[in-house]
Amino acid sequence: MPAPATLPPSGLSGLNPGWSRLIDVAESGTSGDVTHGWHLLDNGPELDALGVIPVGTILCVHGNPTWSYLWRSLLAAASEAAASGAPAWRVIAVDQLNMGFSERTTDFRPLARRVQDLDDLTDALDLAGPVIALGHDWGGVVSLGWAVEHPELLAGVMLLNTAVHQPAGDKIPAPLRLALGRGILGPATVATPAFLATTLALAHPPLSSEIKRGFRAPYLTSARRSGIGGFVADIPVALAHESRPELDRIAESVRTLAVPTLLLWGPRDPIFSDRYLDDLVDRMPHARVHRFEGAGHLLAEDVDYAAAALLWLGDAVVKSPLDASESESESESESASVAPSEAAWDAAGTHPLWHYLDELQDSDETALVDMQPTPRTVSWRLLSLRVRQLAAGLVHIGVKPGDRVSLLVPPSADLTAVLYACVRIGAIVVVADAGLGLAGLTRAVRGARPDFVIGAAPGLLAARALGWPGRKISVAGFVPPMARLLGVEHTLAELISLGQARLSAGDALPAQPAPTDAAAVLFTSGSTGPAKGVVYTHGQLSAVSRALFLQYGVGVGTGLVAGFAPFALLGPALGARSVTPDMDVTAPKTLTASAVAAAVDAIDATVVFLSPAALVNVVATAQALTPADHAALAGVQRFLSAGAPISESLLAQAAALMPQATAHTPYGMTEGLLMADITLEGIRAAAAGVAESNTVPAVANDGESVPAPPATATPAATPTANPAGGVCVGGSTATTRIRISALDASGASVGELTEEADVTGEIVVSAPHVKDRYDRLWLTERASRRGAVAGERWHRTGDVGHLDGAGRLWVEGRMPHVIVTANGVVTPVGPEQRIETLPDVFRAAFVGVGPLGTQQQVAVLETVPPARRVHRAPEKLAAAVRSMVGTPVAAVLVVPGLPTDIRHNSKIDRSRLSRWATGVLSGGRWTKP
């Protein structure tokens, strides 16, 4: 039933009635007497009233079954930004015909007609460039269809969960199959509001009833919903569908788009899953991508996409001078942004990761030893051969350069061989730690979208059970039924024989990847939010090896006990022989002192790398060491605890087991391994320096330390040289520069990068071995580079600290854990260290409660002996804590255990404690943190 375009009813939440306008548009291809009425939202009049000239227009096209209401926050944000003096963007959001409050025509409008409709509209609007095409869902297809036809106007493309391609052989997404069944099509989408309701239910968190009312407003009767059914019927599922040629035309034309492109994606989308994102990235490899972990199909409702969009437009299209350098940083101009120091290293002779595998391919010296199930020795000759065989085998089954291969294999000779085979042929290895837990691992693997998964049985079972993407390759052989059950296509043994056949036939391995090609995606621990994928290039991974060589002398002939995964894998790249000790890598606490001694003995190791969690058990099981074990350990020259900070006493106890060894602990993160390093002696020297000083603790304000003890403070002997305190992690490693971005009074790290001593701020690092970028996290990546120096690769660590006069770095906590009081900024580690000097305190966490800017300081303690239940600290203990801290402490609480991250069991979750303390101290329920 035809119906003219109308204005929306008043009072819809978030919708400014002043944005709405109606326009009659002549339909092209007719004799000119057919016109259709459109409803659209337009902030143009608002901008006129402000007296600003727009820098361009964002043309927004909604999908099905939504309407221009979807874009209300972008209109509001754009007008607000314009009012505040930022570049003004005009936003025009249309209601497609038969949708929203636009006209209900009598006819069915297939895709090609809809693209033409939009073209007719922009003609009628006399739309001038530059135009940014923005679309969601099937509106993305229409938007792209318009975009490829208007290169003269087009300045950029933004897309939210959409797709331009439905592979012929692929199954249709389940929710759509439901709607497509003939019998269901009418009832589900038109006769009842069920399809609309289903779509609105996809929001995370759920939409408020007010917003739902806004989305439903144009679709209250079945006659009003006719367009929804039409749209669903137009989804070109089958090759023969009438809209299929138009869809294919658009999908192919998209490859020619060279304008800046931003893809914002909600992965929790049952319709447009990550594979469609992959397809879009394949067509538009220059696109910036941000996947909002936890968000879904209604991304526009789930996250602040408007802020992201305007931020990106400022960078990519307006190109404010501040951000010009950042937009160069990613892949397309990789070679241009290599830091000077990296270039210097290149000149000194950089090695690709497989350099020694080639150089030592005829050597019968030991390359690797596997300690489990029984010790197995692998020579360089064998390792080199296996790597070449596997590389050729992988090529044979279709692994191409740039393909992603997820490795779910425990540290072992198998893992090493597969890893080097993958990187040799230019495949990108995806490495996620089992310590993430199954849920975290699933998110990580899904997010990385591997083309292949190579796994041992547990990894493959998880992959099968949780529907992880990618073709499956098994480390071990399975009986055929099991292999089918797990969806395993190949085993490593098959790959080796396939590869050998190719090599024997004279097929050469493919060309070596370039230093600027991506080599690996490593996942962060997830102790600070959802695990993030971190991309390293070949050049950067080689630089990590180089840093290990420079810092610890690991090189050709060195024997290395590799108990810490990221470094362990680099043994062959350094020409070192390495051994994986007998341990369950998913439970580092299972490593015993005897197992370490056996590993050392197996390869005459002089260097030992361990994780802090493993170290605790090694020290605890030291009494089982035999005289022979002790003799073996006495040969160790360097010993390293990497992954998280550990106490001086634990490091000292471990060092005592290796009396000839220098004990080191590095500072770094997944995004920048090995940024600084300190020895046990260095830790002791720093502690001695602290003890000598006797300054009064004070709060840092505007990055300066202000000696302003409050009236209540008793100027106790304070155990720190710098008022802010912190853990000394040593000086920067040879190729690293560390600078500080000072905190302002609100706790934001806004200071210019500085190397000045005693300035508290965010720790910012630069090195040839710092990450290339975050994977599909454009916003995160942008934030991590904020304020970077043009032409250098800097990474904001999210850690807070300061440099001292000797250039040593002191870590004071994490950025989100900074306490912002009315008197300035307080960092947690210093007070925690001072509290932990009390004999009754085992471990302390120092957190803020209340609004930023007027937060109160709260100490949460684990006591000696441990408390059985949560309680307020007794008067004496509370007084002792207050006198140690110096600044006003509102409350002192005692708990049986502080919450820590799963992976390291050492990083205290202060954010969670802060929320808990806020509840308890507001008079709320008395729970455990």
Partner 1 sequence: MRVLVTGASGFLGRAVAARISAAGHEVRTFQRRPSGVPGVEDVHGSITMPADTPYAGLAYAVSGRDAVVHLAAKVSLAGDPAAFEAVNVGGTRTVLQAAQDAGVSRFVYISSPSVAHAGSSIMGSEALPAAPEQARGDYARTKARAELLALAADAPGFSVVAVRPHLVWGPGDTQLIDRIVDRARHGRLPLLGRGAALIDTTYVDNAASAIHAALDAASSVHGQSYVITNGEPRPIAELLAGICGAANVAAPAWRVPASAARAAGSLIEAIWRTRPGTDEPPMTRFLAEQLSTAHWFDQRRTRADLAWTPEVSLDEGFARLAAHYRQTP
Q: Which is nearer to partner 1, 748 or 921 (CB)?
A: 921
In DSSP notation, 175-238 reads: HHHHHHSHHHHHIIIIISTHHHHHHHTT-SSPPPHHHHHHHHGGGSSTTTTHHHHHHHHTS--S
Separation of first and last alpha carbons in the chain: 60
Distance CA 23, CA 84 (A): 30
Nearer to partner 1, 519 or 849 (CB): 849
SS3 798: strand
Tell me whether residue 255 or residue 872 sits nearer to partner 1 (CB atom). Answer: 872
Per DSSP (E only), the strands in 442-558 are: 452-455, 471-474, 488-491, 518-523, 533-537
Tokens at 315, concatenated: 């960078």
Asked whether position 474 contacts partner 1 by CB under 8 A, the answer is: no
The single residue among 115, 313, 877, 920 that binds partner 1, judged by CB under 8 A, is 920
Q: Which of 57, 855, 887, 914 binds partner 1 (CB under 8 A)?
A: 855
Residue 172 vs 921, nearer CB to partner 1: 921
| Chain centre distance of CA 252 | 30
Q: Which window, 65-73, 545-553, 810-818, 885-893, contacts partner 1 (CB under 8 A)? A: 885-893
Nearer to partner 1, 707 or 853 (CB): 853
Write out the binding residues for partner 1, residues 281-320 only, by CB under 8 A. none
Q: Closest distance between partner 1 and the C-beta of residue 713, in Å?
A: 9
Contact 274, 142 (CB under 8 A): no
Closer to partner 1 at the Cβ: 335 or 854?
A: 854
Least separation in angstroms between residue 710's CB and partner 1 is: 7
- Cα–Cα nearest to 456, from 372, 362, 576: 372
Among 464, 630, 890, 915, binds partner 1 (CB under 8 A): 890
Q: How far is the CB of 918 from partner 1 (least distance, A)?
A: 7
853 lines the binding site for partner 1 (CB under 8 A): yes
Burial label, 26 (beta-carbon count in 10 A; 0-12, 13-18, 19+): middle
The interface with partner 1 within residues 121-150 (CB under 8 A) comprises none
Pick the closer one to partner 1 by CB: 169 or 923: 923
Among 33, 126, 362, 875, binds partner 1 (CB under 8 A): 875
Give the span between the Cα atoms of 492 and 94, in whole angstroms: 54
Task: Tell whether residue 696 is a contact of partner 1 (CB under 8 A).
Answer: no
Please report how close the Cβ of residue 874 comes to partner 1 at its closest, in angstroms: 10
Rg over CA atoms, the chain: 30
Rounded-to-integer distance, Cα 918 and Cα 278, Å: 42
**Comparison of 527 and 914: residue with beta carbon closer to partner 1:** 914
Tell me the C-alpha distance between 434 and 521, whole Å. 15
Binding marks (x or -) toward partner 1, 805..834, rule CB under 8 A?
A: -----------------x------------
Nearer to partner 1, 250 or 877 (CB): 877
Question: Could you tell me if 567 and 547 are in contact, meaning their C-beta atoms sit under 8 angstroms apart?
Answer: no
Q: CB 232 → partner 1: shortest distance, Å?
A: 47
Q: What is the per-residue burial (b if ≥16 Cβ within 10 Å, else e) of 484-513? A: eebebebbbebbbebbbebbeeeeebbebb
Shortest approach of partner 1 to residue 924 CB, angstroms? 8
Handedness of CA 533, 534, 538, 541 (dihedral sign): negative
For residue 749, the minimal CB distance to partner 1 (Å) is 21
Nearer to partner 1, 205 or 851 (CB): 851
**Given 14, 340, 398, 924, the residue binding partner 1 (CB under 8 A):** 924
Q: Give the residue, chosen from 474, 524, 797, 856, that forms a contact with partner 1 under the rule CB under 8 A.
A: 856
Question: Nearer Cβ to partner 1, position 540 or 821?
Answer: 821
Residue with tokens 């080097």: 420
Tell whether residue 922 is a contact of partner 1 (CB under 8 A).
Answer: yes
| Contact window for partner 1 (CB under 8 A) among 95-103, 344-352, 830-838, 889-897 | 889-897
Question: For residue 29, which phi and psi values (nearest 5 degrees)?
Answer: 80, -5
Q: Quick one: which segment of 7-15, 751-759, 776-784, 872-880 binds partner 1 (CB under 8 A)?
A: 872-880
- Does 868 bind partner 1 (CB under 8 A)? Our answer is no
Give the C-alpha separation, 520 to 456, whole Å.
20
Nearest Cα neighbor of 595 from 548, 555, 629, 545 is 629
Among 210, 872, 902, 928, binds partner 1 (CB under 8 A): 872
Sheet holding 488-491, edge to edge: 488-491, 471-474, 452-455, 404-408, 428-431, 518-523, 533-537, 773-774
C-alpha atoms less than 13 angstroms from C-alpha of 918 in its C-beta half-sphere: 13
Measured distance CA(244)–CA(157) in Å, rounded:
22
Element housing 917 (H / E)? helix 910-921
Tell the smallest beta-carbon distance from residue 886 to partner 1 (Å): 13
Q: What are the φ/ψ torsions at residue 320 (nearest 5 degrees)?
A: -65, 145
Residue 893 Cβ, how far from partner 1 at the closest point, in Å?
8
What is the C-alpha separation between 779 and 795, in angstroms, rounded?
14
Using CB under 8 A as the binding rule, whether residue 926 contacts partner 1 is answered as yes
Return the range that interacts with partner 1 (CB under 8 A); candidates 40-48, 693-701, 807-815, 854-862: 854-862
Nearer to partner 1, 688 or 711 (CB): 711
Single-letter amino acid code for the residue at 517: D
Q: How far is the CB of 801 from partner 1 (least distance, A)?
A: 27
Q: Which is nearer to partner 1, 206 or 924 (CB)?
A: 924
The answer to whether 342 and 543 have CB atoms below 8 angstroms apart is: yes
Q: Tell which one of 221, 497, 746, 854 touches partner 1 (CB under 8 A).
A: 854
- How many residues make up the chain in this entry? 929
The Cα 354–Cα 703 span in angstroms is: 45
Measured from the CB of residue 751, what is the shortest distance to partner 1 in angstroms? Answer: 22
How many residues bind partner 1, per CB under 8 A?
Answer: 25
Instruction: Select from 44-52, 262-270, 572-580, 921-929 the region that touches partner 1 (CB under 8 A).
Output: 921-929
CB 533 within 8 A of CB 523: yes
Looking at the Cβ atoms of 75 and 877, the one nearer to partner 1 is: 877
Report residue 187: phi and psi, to 5°: -55, -45
* 705-734 binders of partner 1 (CB under 8 A): 710-712
Q: Which residue's CB is nearer to partner 1, number 221 or number 714?
A: 714
DSSP bridge pairs for 616: none
Are 369 and 378 in contact by the 8 Å Cβ rule? The answer is: yes
887 binding partner 1? (CB under 8 A)? no
Site string for partner 1, 831-850 (x = CB under 8 A): ------------------xx
Residue 321 or 851: the one with the smaller Cβ distance to partner 1 is 851
Query: Toward partner 1, which CB reaches closer, 134 or 884?
Result: 884
Question: Which residues contact partner 1 (rule: CB under 8 A)?
Answer: 710-712, 822, 849-851, 853-856, 872, 875, 878, 888, 890-891, 893, 918, 920-924, 926
